[in-house]
Structure 1
């Protein structure tokens, strides 16, 4: 397990060559990939969201397709379409952009709701259905979606059903002064991406995902996740709390956090480290809470402080 763990950390080291000054963001995204989740990257333009996704694809030697989402992108561009061939008298399926290992949906909140909905089956089932025929996507499969803040020209909010399918939502933020100096010294930006070298392949990633699935989680830790989710559902400041799918996301991220720490069991600190990233995009403030100055982050901090934390886990030596 330790050797595989080191290979996963090597991926984060390679990605950090292209995305400077954001080690925590890179680590959280690696956790989501290991947990078979999808990633939403939300921030202003120009902070390296697209470069981040491309760096992960290169470091893991994954096939990648990118679609720049605009109002005229169609669902068929995403999932594919069937075209009639006169010579054979049959309809032939032409694959869409999601037929890859890593699909980058760039500026996903600039396209129509109809096109956004084309990703629902893709993200939940890792499959596409066209003309009644279901086709399984290549494995491993991850969606990276970037979005600009709502209020930017031409953007619209993603529906709750779409947001709930993203395992985590991370915010890049501006680089610090030192990182920005290095970015300027390596113009064009492609020079940063060229530094990233493959350190594993998709078979390695599949093996890691199986290892993460096998990380032990006690009933006490499961209860802690459930109580955190229930606390958000009962908070009067929230119109929408965490769903059972969100609880699964927290559990998956916690297993990945334990794996990257070299442990084969989940500890309470794994939950607290990733809880906000797995939860913030799923919660909706009431109007009263919003006008009163509450934020989603404040509420999540309150939940973590009020729900009793389990005692520290002991090393797990197998069943």
Structure 2
């Protein structure tokens, strides 16, 4: 198994490298998407218009291989649109065919939901089951897609004709990543002036396709989880982090201008802490270790927990800024082993 995991580590790093051929200036985003892939978690990307969210997700899909489906979030999208497609054929007869969730069967590996916050809550609810159970019921039978990873993106600028994701929906995503416009001047120069970065389709053609035997992803992910251990001291550290998301004042967390007694409506869920540890084990594996260290936790904590701490209404309107400060306090105040 050790030799197999070593071979897969090489493949995993190659996936990240290949996806990086289509984007520039986003190394942390690339690493965290790769971590989520091997931790078998779903990813929500948020960012400004035109930063390359769709391109980076398409690049990973191409490198992973398997079947790919894409849905555009619109205000008139209905749950049934994910399940079936109705149309009139060339002979004028009505036809029903499987929709994007079903048409690939068990070969569905990447499901990309573009601008998910434009879809109605009913659509988001159907997606929740597909994400949690990797199955849906339709046409009097159960359809399963055990290898599926859901990638979604959300436009954080526009708010009209959008539907904010419910807390249960956000909790289904292992990571919520903010993909920001690069600030490095040379990266900006390349993005603005180098024609190579002006055609996304040409960029994606540079990504080597189907690097992974995607049918084995679940097996390898399980091997990673059993192969990377956590010491009792590190387990206690994680439990303290979890408790601090519920009772921050107990651990001395403080944010300027915030009443910590009235801040938290709900802390991280058991699923959230499980996701944190699953992702941290993948970080350790990619660094060729069989044990966890606090740095592994720190590497994924903002992406894994920032969207899983819910604030009271007076503070929730500033969620992004307060969540960043909250996570920073978690890492500063909770003593690591």
Give the TM-score of the pair, scaled to structure 2: 0.82
Matches of 2:240 and 2:86 in 1, distance apart? 47
* 1:106 paired residue number: 114
Is 1:163 the counterpart of 2:170 in the alignment? yes
Is 1:191 the counterpart of 2:205 in the alignment? no
Instruction: Give the Å deviation of 1:51.
Output: 0.8
Matches of residues 240-259 of structure 1 in structure 2 within 5 Å?
240-259=266-285
* 2:324 paired residue number: 297
Name the stretch that deviates more: 229-238 or 243-252. Answer: 229-238
Say what the alpha-carbon RMSD is for the aligned residues. Answer: 2.4
Change (3 A) 1:300 1:126: same
1:82 touches 1:130 (CA, 8 Å); kept in 2? no
Change (3 A) 1:264 1:70: same
1:82 touches 1:131 (CA, 8 Å); kept in 2? no
Matches of residues 50-89 of structure 1 in structure 2 within 5 Å?
50-80=54-84
Matches of 1:216 and 1:171 in 2, distance apart? 29
* 2:48 paired residue number: 44
1:39 touches 1:169 (CA, 8 Å); kept in 2? yes
Name the stretch that deviates more: 146-155 or 242-251. Answer: 146-155
Instruction: Give the Å deviation of 1:155.
Output: 2.0
Matches of 1:265 and 1:250 in 2, distance apart? 15
Q: Tell me which of 206, 209, 212 is aligned to 1:200.
A: 212
Q: Secondary structure at the match of 2:206?
A: coil
Instruction: Give the Å deviation of 1:224.
Output: 2.0
* 1:230 paired residue number: 243
Instruction: Give the Å deviation of 1:134.
Output: 2.1
Q: Tell me which of 116, 120, 131 is aligned to 1:123.
A: 131
Question: Which portions of structure 1, spanning 4 or more consecutive aligned residues, are displaced by more than 4 angstroms?
Answer: 287-294
Q: What are the ranges of 5 or more consecutive residues in structure 1 without an aligned counterpart?
A: 84-91, 311-319
Instruction: Give the Å deviation of 1:19.
Output: 1.4
Instruction: Give the Å deviation of 1:151.
Output: 4.9
1:227-281 C-alpha deviation (Å, 9 max, x unpaired): 2111011133222211111011101111111111111222221111111110111
Give the TM-score of the pair, scaled to structure 1: 0.87
